[in-house]
Amino acid sequence: MLRDAAEAGQPIGIFEIPERALVLILLTALTPLLVALATPFIRPFEWRRIFWTYVLPAVPLTCAWDGIVSQLRAYTAAELLEISKDIAPGSFVWRAGRVSIPTTPGHVTYLLGHPR
């Protein structure tokens, strides 16, 4: 995707919230509890949702697995720059960084690229 944007001379911005931080991974592990608490309030009510949440807890466990794996697979700003450094060197400018999300322990990691 980055190479295609550079070859087309189009600017690109990539933003992601997941990050490899122990506190966020531990918070993500609480997902099954949050799913269990929220499920009764989801409308329209469906019995199958109750089944897959409480009887056979596939939904909470799947959400937790997906969240934890997403956190572990997240890139740092330095890794994003490393990935992009060989894409259109000299004709494309890449910048990466991290911005705090107010009132949360999280950050947004970004990669921006534009033609020189």
Phi, psi of 98 (to 5 degrees): -140, 135
The structural domain count of the chain equals: 2
Tens digits of residue pLDDT in 33-63: 999 999 999 999 999 999 999 999 999 999 9
| Position 24 confidence tier, pLDDT thresholds 50, 70, 90 | confident
Tens digits of residue pLDDT in 58-99: 999 999 999 999 999 999 999 999 999 999 888 999 999 999
Tokens, residue 27: 């918070």
One domain for residues 27 and 64: yes
Contact 77, 96 (CB under 8 A): yes
Tens digits of residue pLDDT in 2-20: 999 999 999 999 999 999 9
One domain for residues 110 and 86: yes
Contact 107, 76 (CB under 8 A): no
Tokens, residue 50: 């109750």
pLDDT score of 105: 80
One domain for residues 42 and 14: no
One domain for residues 65 and 106: no
Domain that holds residue 8: 1-19+75-116
One domain for residues 53 and 66: yes
One domain for residues 28 and 61: yes
